[in-house]
Structure 1
Amino acid sequence: MTIFRPPIVRTGTAALNRALFSKTVDIAAAAVLDNRLISKYRKSLDAGKEILHVDRVSPIRPHPDKALAEQGRKCLLLAPSVRPEASDTWGPVLKEGVDKKELTVVPYELRLDYDYWTYRDVMGSILPEDLHDEIPSGFNIAGHVAHLNLRDNYLSYKNLVAEIILDKNPQIKTVINKVDNVGSESEFRTFQYEVLAGPGDLNVQVSESDCIFEFDYSKVYWNSKLESEHRRLINLFQPGEVVCDVMAGIGPFAVPAGKKRVFVWANDKNPESFKCLEAAIKKNKVTPFVRPFCEDGRVFIHQAADSVFEASQSGECAVVIRKEALPQTEPSPITTNDTTTTNSNSNPNPPPRPRTRYTTREDRIPLPPTISHFVMNLPASAIDFLPAYRGVYAGREALFAETPDTRQRQRLPMVHVHCFSVKAADQEAALRLAQADICERIGEKLGFVVRPAAAGGGVGEEKGKEEEEEEEGVVAVHCVRDVAPAKSMYCASFRLPREVAFAARG
């Protein structure tokens, strides 16, 4: 409703004058003569569409007359179409309440101030109309820090933006703005920044998937917008499997996976990320399952496959201690003259029930010899790492051979590689373009022809999902999120082809 829009405040200055956002809206209210009738009339006025419906405004208010308000009298705010002096604007419920002398219709001044308006309300009020299409709102939050990536045409408003973000988000204490591009200036995806508001302390604590992470936001990569993608892949991992996280960062995939008893070889080349990863593994008590490494990703792919195999061959396993309650022994019943008495009144001092006793047991979960999933969350360049998979299981073909007793075989690992590709206004067209682009790049780096899954790649409709997944060269492309007007982030998942996995190592 137009009357509930904020006032236009375009002062042309860099100062935020909160007083300019005060506004009074003249409406009507139904004053209730007996507060016990409030619930009844709220429901009936709501059903008759006579009550006020505005976000963040409760329709139940103190009586506008101060003396009556001090006595506890209440009123119900009415829709803007209702005018107190014009009974022809009153609906049937309101008229009936007035006729019964249970209601009176009175003028009401609804006062709205700066605290009422949302961040977007205030920004829309301050910014010129030609900047309304892309109001800075999709900022990344890490603990108490809000991280902006302002476009050039908003830079003159950057301090106002930061001040309003602090006002409207009580959990945020510091606002920073990125001043370079992630992935181009730093191989560790860190970035140069300026502090726009609040203290410059970027040591934060975040919680994701019931795990706690602590880090200096200026020294490692973290993106809270990827939480759903972290969860999506973690849900694919099964307890007892091995996952190799090639670019693990501080562990948003690795640590929660460890909590569900998935073995993870977690690697990051950034020494600061490695240090935070070690701390997260310890803090979240996943040491039996998650092992941290600090290596170049290309080297680590072969290293992980070899070390998992060797650790499995030596009988390594995760030992999990669990606490179990021992069966309780019930106290003997109290007997009198050979008759069992269960009435507590007959014995004012019954013997105490025995305390629950516990024992500890060890669960030993063996480490498999092969990796089930590789994760490569470095979208700017992860595809360039794919040549490192050539020969990853060279000489170990027997690990993936059919066994005579079950006629089943261990499948080669799934590779989940994050990347950037095109975005278009037409979502289906964009996905087709992205699939073609991503598959071409993957095929070039693998030295093996791949094609999109399902409709995008011409795989026969008669094949089921699992059968299609087993086909070499089939790539499932999932859109993770949009990152720029013409660019989206994707995750391409495919089973490592035998020709690549068993190729001779260089």
Structure 2
Amino acid sequence: MSVQSLLPRQLRRLAMNLNPTMLKFQPPVNRNMRTLDRSFFITKVPLCVVSFPDPRNISLFSKQFKDCILRVPRIPHVAKLETLPGQDNTSNNDNDTVKKGVLLHDSITKVDECYQKLPKEALEFLKNANAEILPYEKVLEYDFWKTDEILRAVLPEDLLHDIPTGFTVTGHIAHLNLREEFKPYDTFIGQVILDKNGRIETVVDKVSSIATKFRTFPMKVIAGRDDSLVVEQRESDCIFKFDFSKVYWNSRLHTEHDRLVSQFFQPGQIVCDVFAGVGPFAIPAGKKKVLVLANDLNPDSFKYLQENIQLNKVAHTVKPFEMDGAQFIRESPRLVEQWSKSDGGKILIPLNNNNRRKRQKKDDQKTLEPPAQHEREIPIPQEINHYVMNLPDSAITFLHHFRGLLKGTNIKNMPWIHVHCFEKHSNDEEPAMEELHKRVYQRIIDELQTDESTLAITQVKFHLVRKVSPTKPMFCASFQLPTDVAYAEQ
């Protein structure tokens, strides 16, 4: 194999193996290890250290003779040597209690080698500074090595081309999607990831592809706690509590949640979240004083949606529903009308604690004035402003339920529809973004049972949410429901 044919990752590995320094500071290898033995990775590296009577010479020597000192990532070139006599060993100030020295380049492993390998100027400096060169043993333990370094020292050589160190974090859970060839080593991989990431308590692996209509997937706990998969995730200044094994949650969609809430939703508007899950769109919108009808068919999602509404104190702006998405779309105008009637056409927004304290202080100062209101009113509109459809596998197939949705009403302002979808393509093609937009657009107008004269492609805003894989981009297509579709025969 020629050097030109090597991949960049392979070139880096080749360079590391040819570099004596990098090779010396790699963990020991044991490709037969199946149960993690942390003691195996203890490594002792022989070095030399220079001790200066005057500690000011430490920085002077390090600056003037940079090529003579140890330069290895994560290992400081200044080392602690011994506690100075007569000092308080319990002091937290290392500068007062510990003598320090400078570690020399790792090519120098014995004191007598210094006189052959150090330049004349460096030796002269050490002599004038009355410095002493001493042997030094650097002990590297399991905690020193990174995740990929440990796994690279243990996994079979034919699997080293793509070490599985990537994962997403949800609450206290790290979630991996291990490829089939790595699954025999899942518990080892999970334990190393658990060890190297302090805030993680549980590591799970996706056993197979999403298998249920609720977008949940079978998972296996491969390291850490297996007694609870209920997590608390913070996002958009909100707290979301849910059972990670029973509901759909994707931390990579955080930016998309913020984008829609900040760019499209305005306080006082009505938003229908058709596939709300545990509330990542609905609850931040509710905190923004947007009025949200949040729906999800999954009983567990509905349970935690209700709990998160209470947890984030948005019960006045977010109403939960447990319906099929099609039914929810068809009934949404009636649900808004019911909300308006039940709350007298308005909702009362409690002042937050800071405003309440300010208002109370003002009332105390003006005792002759009538007491201030601790709530403000927001009228409940009769028109729905937005529908969010975050079910990318099939959301487009629900669009035909908007046909005739407003028939029999006199609503003039058409709602915006934000539909998420995948637009997969084969490995042997590289379609331009414009081509992918055209394909999504065609699916939309086909499902709406209309054509470009009613909804032109220029009226659709396309946003690339993320690429799930090189051939599976995820889009959000936003457009106003065409009047002809809204008032069509059902």
TM-score of the aligned structures, taking structure 2 as reference length: 0.78
Corresponding residue for residue 240 of structure 2 = 213
Check whether the contact 2:420–2:474 (CA below 8 A) recurs between aligned residues. Answer: yes
Q: Cα deviation per residue 1:435-460 (whole Å; 9 max; x = unaligned)?
A: 23322222221223469xxxxxxxxx
**1:33 paired to 2:53:** yes
Corresponding residue for residue 403 of structure 1 = none
Q: Cα deviation per residue 1:105-149 (whole Å; 9 max; x = unaligned)?
A: 555433222111111221222223432343223323322222322
Between the two proteins, the alignment pairs up a number of residues equal to 444
**1:132 paired to 2:150:** no
Distance of aligned partners of 1:55 and 1:502 in 2 relative to their CA distance in 1, 3 Å threshold: farther
433-442 or 200-209, larger mean C-alpha shift: 433-442
User: Displacement of 1:161 after TM fit?
Assistant: 1.1
User: Displacement of 1:213 after TM fit?
Assistant: 1.8
User: Displacement of 1:472 after TM fit?
Assistant: 6.6
C-alpha distance in 1 between matches for 2:487 and 2:460: 19
Q: 1:376 aligns with which of 369, 389, 398?
A: 389
**1:490 paired to 2:475:** yes
C-alpha distance in 1 between matches for 2:275 and 2:176: 24
Corresponding residue for residue 227 of structure 1 = 254
User: Displacement of 1:419 after TM fit?
Assistant: 1.7
Per the alignment, in what secondary structure is the counterpart of residue 160 of structure 1?
A: helix
Check whether the contact 1:266–1:291 (CA below 8 A) recurs between aligned residues. Answer: yes
User: Displacement of 1:317 after TM fit?
Assistant: 2.5
Q: 1:14 aligns with which of 34, 39, 46?
A: 34
**1:362 paired to 2:389:** no
Per the alignment, in what secondary structure is the counterpart of residue 142 of structure 2?
A: coil
Corresponding residue for residue 217 of structure 2 = 191
Corresponding residue for residue 98 of structure 2 = 72
C-alpha distance in 2 between matches for 1:148 and 1:302: 38
Q: 2:441 aligns with which of 432, 439, 442?
A: 439
C-alpha distance in 1 between matches for 2:363 and 2:61: 57
C-alpha distance in 2 between matches for 1:33 and 1:501: 86
Corresponding residue for residue 462 of structure 2 = 477
Per the alignment, in what secondary structure is the counterpart of residue 460 of structure 2?
A: strand
Corresponding residue for residue 23 of structure 1 = 43
C-alpha distance in 1 between matches for 2:315 and 2:363: 33
Q: Cα deviation per residue 1:384-440 (whole Å; 9 max; x = unaligned)?
A: 11111222333445432xxxxxxxxxxx33222222223789998463453233222
Corresponding residue for residue 399 of structure 1 = 412
Per the alignment, in what secondary structure is the counterpart of residue 399 of structure 1?
A: coil
Q: Identity, % of aligned pairs? A: 40
Q: RMSD across aligned C-alpha pairs, in angstroms?
A: 3.6
C-alpha distance in 1 between matches for 2:445 and 2:103: 65
Check whether the contact 1:383–1:441 (CA below 8 A) recurs between aligned residues. Answer: yes
Corresponding residue for residue 325 of structure 2 = 297
**1:58 paired to 2:76:** yes
Specify every segment of 5 or more residues in structure 1 that has no aligned partner in the other structure, as ranges. Answer: 331-357, 401-411, 452-469
Q: Cα deviation per residue 1:258-299 (whole Å; 9 max; x = unaligned)?
A: 112222111100111111101100011111111111111111
Specify every segment of 5 or more residues in structure 2 that has no aligned partner in the other structure, as ranges. Answer: 1-20, 90-96, 366-370
Corresponding residue for residue 174 of structure 1 = 202
Q: More helix per residue: 1 or 2?
A: 2
C-alpha distance in 2 between matches for 1:439 and 1:274: 31
Q: 1:268 aligns with which of 290, 296, 306?
A: 296
Per the alignment, in what secondary structure is the counterpart of residue 181 of structure 1?
A: coil
- Which amino acid letter does the alignment assign opposite residue 495 of structure 1? Q
- Which amino acid letter does the alignment assign opposite residue 277 of structure 1? L
Corresponding residue for residue 14 of structure 2 = none
**1:317 paired to 2:347:** yes
Corresponding residue for residue 386 of structure 1 = 399
Distance of aligned partners of 1:328 and 1:268 in 2 relative to their CA distance in 1, 3 Å threshold: closer
Per the alignment, in what secondary structure is the counterpart of residue 235 of structure 1?
A: helix
Per the alignment, in what secondary structure is the counterpart of residue 51 of structure 2?
A: strand
Check whether the contact 2:70–2:106 (CA below 8 A) recurs between aligned residues. Answer: yes
C-alpha distance in 1 between matches for 2:478 and 2:124: 66
Q: Cα deviation per residue 1:38-88 (whole Å; 9 max; x = unaligned)?
A: 56766x469x5765554433343202x688898610124455577874468
Q: Cα deviation per residue 1:366-398 (whole Å; 9 max; x = unaligned)?
A: 223322222111111111111112223334454
Distance of aligned partners of 1:17 and 1:98 in 2 relative to their CA distance in 1, 3 Å threshold: same
- Which amino acid letter does the alignment assign opposite residue 450 of structure 2? F
Per the alignment, in what secondary structure is the counterpart of residue 24 of structure 1?
A: strand
369-378 or 260-269, larger mean C-alpha shift: 369-378
C-alpha distance in 1 between matches for 2:191 and 2:393: 32
C-alpha distance in 2 between matches for 1:301 and 1:389: 7
Corresponding residue for residue 285 of structure 2 = 257
Distance of aligned partners of 1:282 and 1:78 in 2 relative to their CA distance in 1, 3 Å threshold: farther
Distance of aligned partners of 1:389 and 1:20 in 2 relative to their CA distance in 1, 3 Å threshold: same
- Which amino acid letter does the alignment assign opposite residue 345 of structure 2? G
Corresponding residue for residue 119 of structure 1 = 147
Distance of aligned partners of 1:262 and 1:132 in 2 relative to their CA distance in 1, 3 Å threshold: farther
C-alpha distance in 1 between matches for 2:145 and 2:128: 38
C-alpha distance in 2 between matches for 1:242 and 1:45: 68
User: Displacement of 1:95 after TM fit?
Assistant: 6.5
C-alpha distance in 1 between matches for 2:58 and 2:364: 57
Distance of aligned partners of 1:499 and 1:165 in 2 relative to their CA distance in 1, 3 Å threshold: same
**1:203 paired to 2:230:** yes
TM-score of the aligned structures, taking structure 1 as reference length: 0.76
User: Displacement of 1:306 after TM fit?
Assistant: 3.5
Corresponding residue for residue 314 of structure 2 = 286
Check whether the contact 1:94–1:103 (CA below 8 A) recurs between aligned residues. Answer: no
User: Displacement of 1:315 after TM fit?
Assistant: 1.9
Per the alignment, in what secondary structure is the counterpart of residue 126 of structure 1?
A: coil
Corresponding residue for residue 450 of structure 2 = 448
237-246 or 388-397, larger mean C-alpha shift: 388-397
Check whether the contact 1:203–1:217 (CA below 8 A) recurs between aligned residues. Answer: yes
- Which amino acid letter does the alignment assign opposite residue 287 of structure 1? A
